[in-house]
Amino acid sequence: MRTRIRGVRVFDGASTTARTDVLVDGPVIAADDGGPVDAEVDGTGRTLLPGLIDAHTHVFDGGLELALRSGVTTELDMFCLPPNLARQRRLAAERDDVADLRSAGVLATAPGGHPSQLMDAFGAEEAAALGDGAGAFDTVAGAGQARAFVAARVAEGADYLKVVVDDGALSGARRPTLDAATLAALVEAAHDAGLAVVAHALSAAEVGAALDAGVDGLAHVFCDAAPGDPAAEELAARAADHGVFAVTTLAYFEAIGGSDPDHAHGDAAGPGDALSNAAHAVRVLHRAGVPLLAGTDANPFAPAHGAGMLRELVLLGAAGLAPEEVLAAATAEPARRFGLTDRGRIAPGLRADLLLVDGDPTRDLAAVGRATDVWRRGVRLPLGPSGR
């Protein structure tokens, strides 16, 4: 199937071309040879983007379909129990009407550490929404268990490792957490196995511990340093020096709002307003040169898969990023940082994961929510003029 998208504005993951043609040839983007095509799509007044990549989600039954219908063509899952992960991987491999998937599988946490309290609290309805139910999962009791834990993640097909650095202080409920020696051992074992390491850390102190351990990225920005607190600037400079990336998850901080953070998906709150503090962290990290990746922490409850990503982009714009910077954070940047060399940009030879929207999101980020078509592996899913 060859499809030409004619006369369309293109954001290619880094820069914008005002008007051009793009050829989709089977599952890939191709150089336009001017030859015949099976279908043409009028791009007048529209913008073509790489498919969005949500850099922090938790996959569940139905979530990958929701994601694709909002233009998210790849989700990076940060914790998934093995039976659910196997089911979602099969779905993503066999169908093109759902988003693609990469996953950390089972995250590394101390016995009784986050998110054990959430798994234990899930009732039957919540367990069903997760697709697996609650139940026990592997934990790490000390540095001596790090290599075996990482080997088990490799065996289950994890694409990267997530470690939890969270003592529960921000939620007012102290929990066990990985100590410095165990964190360092996990990072070393993961790197030896060829896995990048992403840390769940919400406070400035927890982010500092993650940086000390040598992690590659942060699954959230920190949310306990208010504007005017010098700790934020200092921590951003440290993160830049360590060469880590940060997943923004502003939609998550907005979603938990004033709710009980332990009933919501995770922890946050802390001094002041979590969203305001997190947006400030985004600004200082950005100024320091830390690569930012758009992610939502989408889960079965809130934020929603797909729709949460559209909100994330608007929140990043409100935090001070220019529209092209926001779009890069949702496309080329997560692809680069997670080794997805076949996507995240629009260029010949790359996978045809594409999003067509009405309007110009390089000037108005809300236009990303006006999707008309999405392509996943070259297969077109028309969404209609309203994007739904």
- Which residue segments constitute the domains of the chain, with CATH numbers given? 1-50+343-388 (2.30.40.10), 52-342 (3.20.20.140)
Q: Which of 13-17, 172-176, 187-191, 361-365 has the lowest mean pLDDT?
A: 172-176
Residue range 178-185: mean pLDDT, rounded: 98
SS3 assignment, position 351: strand
**Long-range contacts, 124-133 (Cβ 8 Å, 24+):** 126/300, 126/301, 129/60, 129/61, 129/300, 129/301, 130/58, 130/60, 130/81, 130/84, 130/300, 131/59, 131/60, 131/61, 131/84, 131/87, 131/88, 132/81, 132/83, 132/84
| Per-residue confidence (pLDDT) for residue 127, from 0 to 100 | 53
| Residues 6 or more apart in contact with residue 314 via CB below 8 angstroms | 365, 366
Of 77-91, 128-142, 222-236, least confident by mean pLDDT is 128-142
pLDDT digits (tens, 9 = 90+) for 264-311: 444 444 434 899 999 999 999 999 999 999 999 999 889 999 999 999
User: What is the pTM assigned to this prediction?
Assistant: 0.93
Mean pLDDT of all residues belonging to the chain = 92
